[in-house]
């Protein structure tokens, strides 16, 4: 019997763009749904927070983009920052456009393994995108987790993504704290100014029962991990997401190799004890 083509990892499936939302001047969220009769949940695994898909703009190219939202109906949510030809093309897709999807690939955050613990979520810039499903899963299963800190950093107030979600989470009251800081404030900004690691250092953390999820620029992840370690959080309870130059998503091309780790296969989510020694390896 021939292998089901839906499960072929190198075969993109066509998806139709259902929604387009501009998050900032250069960040766009796309909601896409399968055009074929069989949705993505028929792929080898259901998508999990922390995993990524390869998004293909026909005639332009393909890039890895983390899932920024999970929906039970087979639609996918991806948030894209325009930094090159493919991501710029993705950002300019209109409702009704078509994109190719391969995936899901990689490791998830393992949010459920943090049950019974307090949780610290640290997102820098567009790094908040793969962490958004983490917060949503925590809130959907609120009784399974202790105190939740959501700490967000951005370059300027205009670079803060998911402002509606952040505002909604901040109104939930006791048990969840949402703090936002910017590197450079403008008129009308009354919040924190400084790097997001300052928020980590000020957070009330019970190190004996805390799990942290961190995503952002590599230098930010290193310093956030240091701040968490200074509060006593063990490295194996700090999870980081590295997205080094992934191209094939199936560990064949070697472009994402860090030491003995292929980020697209062993990652992108790894605990800090495993990943930190590798972040000094130069990417290609």
* Choices 3.90.1150.10, 3.40.50.2000, 2.40.30.10, 3.30.2350.10: CATH for 5-105: 2.40.30.10
| pLDDT band at residue 5 under the 50/70/90 scheme | very low
Residues in the chain: 284
Architecture of domain 111-278: 3-Layer(aba) Sandwich (3.40)
Contact assessment for residue 181 and residue 194, using Cβ atoms and an 8 Å cutoff:
yes
260 Cβ neighbours under 8 A, 6+ residues apart: none
Interval 205-228 mean pLDDT: 94
pLDDT reported for residue 85: 96
Half-sphere exposure of 262 (CA within 13 A, CB side): 13
72-130 pLDDT tens trace: 788 999 999 999 999 999 999 999 999 999 999 999 999 999 999 999 999 999 999 99
User: Residue 57: which of 82, 79, 89 has the closest Cα?
Assistant: 89
Using a pLDDT cut of 70, give the percent of the chain over it.
Answer: 91
| pLDDT band at residue 254 under the 50/70/90 scheme | confident
Distance between CA atoms of residues 13 and 11, nearest Å: 6
For the chain, the structural domain boundaries read 5-105, 111-278
pLDDT reported for residue 125: 94
| pLDDT band at residue 45 under the 50/70/90 scheme | low
- At how many degrees (to 10) do helices 132-140 and 163-170 cross? 30
pLDDT reported for residue 2: 44
Distance between CA atoms of residues 41 and 73, nearest Å: 9
Helix (H, G, I), strand (E, B) or coil at 237: helix
| pLDDT band at residue 282 under the 50/70/90 scheme | low
Interval 215-220 mean pLDDT: 93
């Amino acid at each position: 019997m021939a292998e089901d083509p839906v499960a072929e990892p190198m075969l993109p499936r066509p998806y139709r763009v259902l929604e387009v939302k501009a998050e900032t001047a250069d960040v766009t969220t796309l909601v896409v749904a399968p055009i074929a009769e069989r949705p993505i949940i028929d792929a080898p695994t259901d998508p999990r927070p922390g995993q990524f898909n390869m998004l293909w703009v026909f005639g332009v190219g393909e890039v890895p983009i983390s899932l920024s939202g999970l929906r039970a109906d087979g639609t996918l949510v991806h948030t894209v920052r325009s930094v090159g030809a493919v991501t710029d093309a993705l950002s300019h897709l209109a409702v009704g456009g078509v994109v190719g999807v391969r995936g899901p690939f990689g490791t998830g955050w393992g949010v459920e393994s943090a049950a019974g613990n307090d949780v610290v979520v640290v997102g820098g810039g567009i790094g908040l995108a793969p962490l958004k499903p983490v917060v949503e899963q925590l809130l959907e299963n609120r009784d399974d987790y202790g105190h939740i800190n959501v700490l967000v950093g951005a370059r300027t107030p205009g670079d803060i993504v998911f402002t509606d979600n952040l505002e909604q989470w901040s109104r939930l009251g006791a048990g969840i704290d949402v703090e936002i800081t910017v590197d450079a404030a403008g008129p009308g900004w009354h919040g924190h100014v400084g790097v997001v690691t300052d928020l980590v250092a000020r957070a009330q953390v019970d190190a004996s029962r805390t799990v942290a999820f961190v995503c952002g620029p590599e230098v930010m992840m290193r310093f956030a991990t240091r701040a968490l370690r200074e509060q006593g959080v063990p490295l194996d309870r700090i999870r980081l997401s590295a997205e080094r130059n992934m191209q094939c998503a199936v560990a064949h091309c070697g472009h994402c190799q860090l030491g003995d780790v292929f980020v697209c296969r062993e990652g992108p989510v790894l605990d800090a004890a495993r990943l930190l020694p590798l972040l000094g390896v130069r990417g290609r």
